[in-house]
């Protein structure tokens, strides 16, 4: 039997930059998805989950049961790409909030891939998971599966795939607060934003993550110019955030997060009224240095950096979680 686990993540800063070959600063967190898998001589994989009743029967060629739960399509894509030598029975459990922007689907893909026997370098396995999500209409970047595999707080340069571990100052507390607005990324304008970024990059002749502000001023279409401006300035903010954390300057780190949210809401139009209201309320709370939406957007969670204990139970009834850098994915056999 194999037991595989993979964490969720919160992105401190750098959203919609990974698929533009820019910079991001995501952090693996304590929420995780686990998959226990017992191999057999069967020609199919039988999976069940604690999220929904029922089972999914998947052929080794990756054909799912058409009457199974919706997550079966993603599981089938993983089976097809991993190509296990034999079938078996698996059980999936998770503590990652679904639809909250904390990379529940990436944790699912990574854990299931490892449980099925995938043994690839992190970058290659992250691409496999990315490809699996694309088959169900979620054209995600590499950030989520990569940080799930490697763990910690990572400064990632997606133009070179170089990573650098960053330390959270001991005086800081990172808190994830749920807006209460759940969403499935494939049902949001996320794909449209990717297409807009592709069009802006085509107009420039280079990836947005490698462009300059002077260059994007030449983009004629005002919508594409705003999308590009977010990506270029967000990459600058990722660098500034990493420097601020290294200097234990929480006020500077908070200011960068505030600028990031404004850019995501105005230039990228990836926020919502509910998320904006939550960010504003957090910024009005004593001891909070900065807050911003996190993840693909259009709902989900907000991440805040603050003094320890700033978000107490008296003033805050919303679902929230203090988080710390967590370990990357792992697999064991028994």
pLDDT tens per residue across span 73-93? 999 999 999 999 899 999 999
Which residues share a beta bridge with 306?
173, 288
| Tokens read off for 91 | 């059980």
Domains of the chain by residue range:
2-165, 172-323
pLDDT tens per residue across span 265-274? 999 999 999 9
pLDDT at residue 303 is higher than 90: yes
Q: How far apart are CA 167 and CA 25, in angstroms?
A: 11
Residue pair 193/271 in contact (Cβ under 8 Å)? The answer is no
CATH of domain 2-165: 3.30.230.10
Active-site entry in 144, 187, 249, 312: 144
| Tokens read off for 117 | 């026997």
Q: Look up the pTM and report it.
A: 0.93
Nearest to 179 by CA among 275, 280, 310: 275
Average pLDDT across the chain, whole number: 93
| Tokens read off for 304 | 């805040």
Residue pair 151/29 in contact (Cβ under 8 Å)? The answer is no
Residue 164, pLDDT score: 97
DSSP class of residue 183 equals -
High-pLDDT (> 90) share of the chain, %: 80
Active site residue 144: yes
| Tokens read off for 312 | 């107490």
Q: How far apart are CA 57 and CA 293, in angstroms?
A: 37
> Helical H runs in the chain?
71-82, 104-115, 122-135, 143-150, 190-204, 213-216, 222-246, 250-266, 273-283
Nearest to 263 by CA among 232, 242, 298: 232
Residue 69, pLDDT score: 82
pLDDT tens per residue across span 305-332? 999 999 988 788 888 999 999 999 999 9
Residue 297, pLDDT score: 85
CATH of domain 172-323: 3.30.70.890
pLDDT at residue 138 is higher than 90: no
Q: How far apart are CA 146 and CA 144, in angstroms?
A: 5
Residue pair 201/20 in contact (Cβ under 8 Å)? The answer is yes
Residue 68, pLDDT score: 77
Nearest to 277 by CA among 288, 263, 265, 287: 265
Q: How far apart are CA 37 and CA 92, in angstroms?
A: 9
């Amino acid at each position: 039997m194999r037991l595989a686990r993979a964490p969720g993540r919160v992105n401190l800063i750098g959203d919609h930059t990974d698929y533009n070959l820019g910079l991001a600063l995501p952090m693996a967190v304590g929420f995780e998805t686990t998959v226990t898998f017992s191999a057999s001589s069967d020609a199919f994989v039988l999976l069940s989950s604690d999220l929904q009743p029922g089972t999914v029967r998947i052929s080794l060629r990756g054909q799912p049961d058409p009457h199974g739960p919706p997550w079966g399509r993603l599981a089938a894509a993983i089976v097809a790409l991993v190509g296990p030598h034999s079938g078996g029975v698996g059980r999936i459990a998770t503590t990652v909030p679904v639809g909250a922007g904390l990379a529940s689907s990436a944790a699912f893909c990574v854990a299931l891939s490892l449980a099925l026997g995938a043994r690839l370098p992190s970058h290659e396995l992250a691409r496999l998971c990315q490809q699996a999500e694309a088959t169900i209409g979620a054209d995600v970047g590499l950030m989520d599966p990569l940080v799930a595999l490697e763990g910690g707080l990572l400064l990632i340069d997606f133009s070179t795939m170089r990573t650098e571990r960053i330390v959270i100052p001991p005086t800081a507390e990172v808190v994830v607060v749920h807006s209460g607005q759940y969403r499935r990324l494939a049902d949001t304008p996320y794909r449209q934003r990717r297409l807009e970024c592709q069009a802006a990059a085509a107009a420039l002749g280079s990836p947005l993550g490698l462009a300059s502000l002077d260059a994007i001023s030449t983009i004629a279409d005002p919508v594409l110019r705003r999308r590009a401006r977010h990506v270029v300035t967000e990459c600058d903010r990722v660098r500034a955030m990493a420097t601020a954390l290294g200097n234990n300057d929480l006020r500077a780190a908070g200011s960068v997060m505030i600028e990031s949210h404004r850019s995501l809401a105005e230039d990228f139009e990836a926020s919502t009224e509910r998320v904006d209201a939550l960010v504003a309320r957090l910024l009005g709370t004593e001891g909070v240095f900065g807050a911003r939406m996190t993840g693909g957007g259009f709902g989900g969670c907000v991440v805040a950096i603050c003094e320890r204990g700033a978000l107490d139970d008296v003033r805050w009834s919303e679902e929230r979680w203090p988080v710390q850098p967590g370990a990357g994915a792992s697999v064991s056999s028994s």
